[in-house]
Amino acid sequence: MIRSKTNPHIKYLRRLTRRRWREKEGHFILEGVRLVEEALCSGWPVKMLVYTPSASERAGALLESARERGIQLLPVEEGLLGELADTETPQGVLAVVEKPGCTLEETLAAGPSLLLVVDGVQDPGNLGTIIRSADAAGAGAVILFPGTVDLYNPKTIRATMGSLFHLPVIAVREGEGVLARLRAAGFMLVAGVPAGGIPLPVVDMTGPVVLAVGNEARGLSPWLLERADLLATIPMPGRAESLNVAAAASIMLYEAVRQRMGCGQDQAGFVSVHQNHYDEDSTASSRVHPGFKARPR
């Protein structure tokens, strides 16, 4: 039983509460029975399980499973775990998990047709909800561009409700090369904008498509908008000025799901996002202008 704050394991766990140390060590802390269960069931590399003697019966079963897998178990005093936990009422279980090494190339090799780019979202709850929606919609991956909140922030992880372990979430160091690679792989980029874009239900998203959402206040980066194949706007007939970015991402994802399930409008009414349906004299700048009109099928 560990009781001292100066124990090396406790010092290491404290370091992992800071982003720069998580990035340096390649590990992060996972809190709560359900999330640790999800990580184990999904095959994520759990390196250590930290627990208190008062952990629940469900946590006891989890500890037994971890013991059978050869995972290091570390009993600590309840007060110590409370200081390490991010929640006000911890469940008595923490895990140290190794970050996965999934790459964009590995993701593309799996043949996805629906991807989501997140550009500069700052709220951990928003990012977690976006990942959860992408998981529910069957997206092949979520790609985080620079400036986006840390994926392994405890609030982000909790907001994913376990979806973090169900699909690749890839944080990239630069975005332009990623977009070029996605375009080379046959994807078209549909950028979500609050106003002035083509109405979302009219955009054909039945082919390989990357949806993009941006920062809560500023939206998508100007350079990304310039490289988009289409700008799409969610119709808002009510009086609300805008939608929360997580809500907007969910609507965009589920419009793609709706179209792929064969529901709703006749395919002939969609605007194609494929290059061969653009006017021949269309340029990159004209394709992304809010007034851009693509050639219908």
Residues 77, 177 share a domain: no
Question: pLDDT tens digit string along 69-105?
Answer: 999 999 999 889 899 999 888 888 999 999 998 999 9
pLDDT at 56: 64
Is 198 in contact with 171 (CB distance < 8 Å)? no
Percent above pLDDT 70 for the chain: 88
pLDDT at 1: 86
Q: Which two tokens stand for residue 27?
A: 């590990």
Q: What is the mean pLDDT of the chain?
A: 88
Both ends of the chain: CA-CA distance in Å? Answer: 69
By residue count, the chain amounts to: 297
pLDDT at 270: 47
What integer is the mean pLDDT of 24-46? Answer: 94
178 domain residue, yes or no = yes
Ranges 86-90, 159-163, 175-179: which has the least confidence: 86-90
What integer is the mean pLDDT of 264-285? Answer: 40
Calpha distance 77→36 (Å, rounded): 20
- Per the structure, the complete domain to which residue 260 belongs is given by 104-288
Q: Which two tokens stand for residue 67?
A: 């013991």
CATH classification of the domain holding 184:
3.40.1280.10
pLDDT at 295: 29
Residues 237, 162 share a domain: yes
34 domain residue, yes or no = yes
Domain closes at, from 70, 98, 126: 98
Q: Which two tokens stand for residue 294?
A: 């693509």
Query: Does 265 have pLDDT greater than 60?
Result: no
pLDDT at 59: 80
More confidently predicted of 58 and 181? 181
Query: Does 287 have pLDDT greater than 70?
Result: no
Q: For the chain, how many structural domains are there in total?
A: 2
More confidently predicted of 176 and 87? 176
Distances (CA, A) of 282 to 24, 87, 292: 45, 53, 9
Question: pLDDT tens digit string along 105-155?
Answer: 999 999 999 999 999 999 999 999 999 999 999 999 999 999 999 999 999
Calpha distance 141→207 (Å, rounded): 16
Domain closes at, from 67, 98, 129: 98
3 domain residue, yes or no = no
181 domain residue, yes or no = yes
pLDDT at 231: 98
Residues 29, 91 share a domain: yes
Residues 162, 280 share a domain: yes
Query: Does 279 have pLDDT greater than 80?
Result: no
295 domain residue, yes or no = no
Q: Which two tokens stand for residue 210?
A: 């990357």
- pLDDT tier at 267, thresholds 50, 70, 90: very low
pLDDT at 294: 39
Query: Does 172 have pLDDT greater than 60?
Result: yes
Percent above pLDDT 90 for the chain: 76
